[in-house]
Structure 1
Amino acid sequence: MGRPDFEELQVYKLAEKLANKIWEIVIRWDDFAKDTIGKQIVRAVDSIGANIAEGRGRYNYQDNKRFVKMARGSMNETIHWMRLAYARNLLKSEQVDIIKPIIDELSPKLNAYLNSIGNSDK
């Protein structure tokens, strides 16, 4: 069995980059913030890449699409938690300036990846 190919997907690499950036921020929050919004945002953002990987491993176009749709949902959930974190002064403007371009690139790539599934070879 060879190495999984999801690691080569640009959409997966962006999801991983976003997850790691958010982790670097949340890990510095106080215990209350980590235990409430922190855990939620980390779970949501980690789920984006996890769903891409799991869908890719299904080797069935319909299952893969279903998991990419879940990744899109996790992306929206991540944005929700980021909005709350910003409103509650947990995220600084400088941090948003780092994260937002990744989200702005990842969101359309998720849609493009979803649309491409089944339209070409795996």
Structure 2
Amino acid sequence: MGRPNFERLEVYKLSEKLADEIWQIVKGWDYFTKDTIGKQIVRAADSISANIAEGEGRYNFQDNRRFIKIARGSLYETINWLSRAYKRNLLTNEQTKLLNPIIDELSPKLNAYLKSIG
């Protein structure tokens, strides 16, 4: 069995990149912060790529579209948590400058991928 098709998708690679960058940031937070906002933001970010993968594995357009919509919801949740983290001084300006371009690229690619299915 070859590699799954979703691993070749640029939108999937970008969502992995976002999740991995967030993971690295959250690892440096104190216990309370990790246990509250940290777990939430990591789960939301990881959910983006997980739903892209799951949708691709469903092999029908309707299910795939549904999972991409869930991935988009997870992206918006991630954006929300990043905003909360920034307002609580948990993110540095450098970290924000690193994450914002990924989000700015991922959001339209996720929408374009959704439109391309079916």
> 2:5 & 2:18 partners in 1: Cα distance?
19
- Report what 1:110 is aligned to: 110
Q: What code does the residue aligned with 2:51 have?
A: N
Over the residues paired in the alignment, what is the CA RMSD in angstroms?
0.5
- Report what 2:32 is aligned to: 32
- Report what 1:69 is aligned to: 69
Following TM superposition, the consecutive aligned residue runs of length 4 or more in structure 1 with deviations greater than 4 angstroms are: none
- Report what 1:15 is aligned to: 15
Alpha-carbon offset, residue 3 of structure 1:
1.8
Q: Give 1:29-108 correspondences, 5 Å limit.
A: 29-108=29-108
Q: What code does the residue aligned with 2:43 have?
A: R
> 1:18 & 1:96 partners in 2: Cα distance?
12
More helix by share: 2
> 2:70 & 2:21 partners in 1: Cα distance?
21
> 1:15 & 1:82 partners in 2: Cα distance?
15
> 1:2 & 1:29 partners in 2: Cα distance?
38
Q: Percent identity?
A: 72
Alpha-carbon offset, residue 2 of structure 1:
2.5
> 2:2 & 2:62 partners in 1: Cα distance?
23
Using structure 1 for the length normalisation, give the TM-score: 0.95
SS at match of 2:110: helix
Alpha-carbon offset, residue 103 of structure 1:
0.1
Q: How many residues align?
A: 118
SS at match of 2:101: helix
Alpha-carbon offset, residue 54 of structure 1:
0.2
Contiguous gaps of at least 5 residues in structure 1: none
Cα deviations by residue, 1:32-58 (Å, 9 ceiling, x for unpaired): 000000000000000000000000000
